[in-house]
Amino acid sequence: MTDDVDPLLEAADATLASRAMDGDVQAFERLARRHGPLMRVYAAKLMGSESESDDVVQDAFLTGWRKLGDLDSPAHVRSWLMRIVSNKAIDRLRVRRDHDDIDDWDPPASAVRSPERIVETRLQLDAMWSALDRLPGDQRRCWLLRETGDYSYQEIADALDLPVSTVRGLLVRARRTLLQEMEAWR
Amino acid sequence: MAMTDEHAVPEDDLDGHTMEELADYLDRGRTPYEPSIERSAACRLALDGMRRLSQLSASSLQQQADRDPGRDEGWISGLLDIIKSEIRSGRDVPISHPDGALRLALTEAAVRGLIRRAGDTMPGALVGRCALEGDVAVPGAPVRVVVSCSLTFGEPLAAMADRLRQRIAAALAEHTELTIEAIDVHVDDVLPPTEGDA
Amino acid sequence: MTDDTGLSQRLTEVARRTAGVSAVFAAKPAVAAAADALAVALALREPDVLVDVARSEGFTTFTVHIAADAATPAPQTLRAVGEAVRDLVLAEGAAEHHFAVNVKARMIEGLEADRHD
């Protein structure tokens, strides 16, 4: 007989969250493995810092574990954790802005590819990834908080200390730039 | 044609609508139906582009996340170390001993873990919530076990639930001294069989 | 301050060797231990000092936390550990007149899966 396949591997988020609420570490581990990598990538992109993203996502999951009792519905565990990750990343951004004044730190753009030479979907996603990198920092943050973090305009404004009207404008610009960048892929 | 200025927002030519309006409309799930948007080919094209952009954005992040499967091992194992060191043990579930100087107990967490394991090791079952109702700390006090589970569709559900109940009862009888009054099994979910199960 | 390190080490060993025990955990919770810098330092240096020995006004409490192997009924394992610890304490005259032995199983591991074939 083959050794145990982890019965939690295919369990629904809601099941895993319920069990984690009962103190099941393995169930929480499964949630971390399922959703953590994306959240880590998101945090890195949001902060413009790969090196801090591990800390942020670990800290966020730890907070999640300790506050599982506050989770209103186990089925919403993913967006609830995502929210915690967003908050933690924004806290770091604030600290950095207050101390280092490198508000608009932009990661180096990846090598620019010529769209005509690239045909595969995977590379289309690479193109999107580098297009996001090329966005100015404030546009990128607005875009990620809106699209991935599921923040409202007001919440983005509060998080980034910007007027709502500015957030709207930044999102319009981000959307327009990305549409132009990705036009070649249609 | 002039080079585009990075910061200029060119005029939209969207039959009287702005990109921002369209974005809001998309966010609302395209409801309530707005004829002046839906009947405009330019608007529909822009909406389509925006939706595609969202998908690409999400997929590109996911692709990065999936790129290196070992990449997250470090922070996850660190996380688990911290969590394990602060496990909530719950109440003590006593085990008797004739020598009064010996105080023996299982933690409630251990008993719940046992119940989950009894369920999970039954093919086709996966335990969800698990609660011990009653005063587990008082020897002989009646205790009710309440578990939720998902079952893989196969044999009749009632029979599977019965078997799960029996497995839990057997594990509790072997490893605890609890007086189990009832074991309530709530089937939350019935899953289609996976390829692995014959 | 009495140094019970050697005693704790021997008690840890006796618990670990008891049939049905799959692991012995540090009995002092991490949070409580953190408040006690010395305990942390000792724990770091002595990974085999896991049984807690607490002496207070003539009463000694020995606390042992274990993981039980599901192949043996947990009550049987707990009793065996309790008795082994008690017997060693008595044999060494390690406690004053009154003492208690607390043994707690924090997990039961290794429950077998159904075998259908």
Whether residue B45 is found in the same domain as residue B121: no
Share of chain A above pLDDT 70, in %: 83
Q: What's the structural domain count of chain B?
A: 2
Mode of pairing for the β-strands spanning B92-95 and B102-107 = antiparallel
Residues in chain A with CB shorter than 8 Å from the CB of B60 are 125-126, 128-129, 132
At residue B193, the 3 state secondary structure works out as coil
Q: A42 to chain B: nearest residue by CA?
A: B61
Q: Is A45 on the interface with B (CB under 8 A)?
A: yes
Integer Cα distance of A88 and A60 in angstroms: 7
Q: How many residues comprise chain A? A: 186
Q: Is residue C117 part of a domain?
A: no
Whether residue B30 is found in the same domain as residue B102: no
Averaged pLDDT, B88-103:
91
- Tell me the CATH class for A1-103: mainly alpha
Q: Following CA atoms B72, B74, B77, B79 in sequence, which dihedral angle do they give, to the nearest 10 degrees?
A: -90
**Cα three-residue angle A62-A26-B60, rounded to 5 degrees:** 65
Whether residue B97 is found in the same domain as residue B180: yes
Q: Is residue B6 part of a domain?
A: no
Question: Does A142 have pLDDT greater than 50?
Answer: yes
Q: Is residue C116 part of a domain?
A: no
Q: Is residue C114 part of a domain?
A: no
Range with top average pLDDT, A78-87, A96-105, B147-156: A78-87
Hey, are the CB atoms on A171 and B87 less than 8 Å from each other? no
CATH number of the domain enclosing C38 = 3.30.70.1350
Q: Is residue B163 part of a domain?
A: yes
Touching subunits for chain B (3+ Cβ pairs under 8 A)? A, C
| Residue B152 C-alpha from the chain's centroid | 17
Number of A/C CB contacts below 8 angstroms equals 3
Hey, are the CB atoms on C105 and B105 less than 8 Å from each other? yes
Q: Name the pTM for this structure.
A: 0.73
10 Å Cβ neighbour count for A56?
27
Residue-level pLDDT at C46: 53
Domain range for B54 is: 19-66
Q: What's the structural domain count of chain C?
A: 1
Q: Is A18 on the interface with B (CB under 8 A)?
A: yes
Whether residue B53 is found in the same domain as residue B114: no
Residues in chain B with CB shorter than 8 Å from the CB of C103 are 102-105
| Residue B38 C-alpha from the chain's centroid | 38
Whether residue B125 is found in the same domain as residue B173: yes
Q: Is B78 on the interface with C (CB under 8 A)?
A: no
Hey, are the CB atoms on C117 and A1 less than 8 Å from each other? yes
Residue-level pLDDT at B11: 55
Averaged pLDDT, C68-88:
96
Q: Is residue C20 part of a domain?
A: yes
Question: Does C30 have pLDDT greater than 60?
Answer: no
Give the mean pLDDT of chain B: 87
Q: Is residue C72 part of a domain?
A: yes
- Tell me the CATH class for A106-186: mainly alpha
Q: Is residue B115 part of a domain?
A: yes
Residue-level pLDDT at A185: 65
10 Å Cβ neighbour count for C65?
23
CATH number of the domain enclosing B179 = 3.30.70.1350
At residue C82, the 3 state secondary structure works out as helix
Hey, are the CB atoms on B95 and C30 less than 8 Å from each other? no
Share of chain C above pLDDT 70, in %: 78
Q: Is C116 on the interface with B (CB under 8 A)?
A: yes
At residue B128, the 3 state secondary structure works out as strand
Q: C116 to chain A: nearest residue by CA?
A: A1
Q: Nearest to residue B64, comparing CAs of A79, A12, A144, A90?
A: A144
Hey, are the CB atoms on A4 and C113 less than 8 Å from each other? yes
Question: Does B134 have pLDDT greater than 60?
Answer: yes
Q: Is residue B97 part of a domain?
A: yes
Integer Cα distance of B19 and B10 in angstroms: 11
Selected residue with higher pLDDT from B7 and A7:
A7
Residues in chain C with CB shorter than 8 Å from the CB of A62 are none
Domain range for C61 is: 5-109
Domain ranges of chain A: 1-103, 106-186
Per-residue pLDDT band at A49 (split at 50, 70, 90): confident
**Interface ipTM above 0.90:** no
CA distance, residue C1 to nearest chain B CA (Å): 25
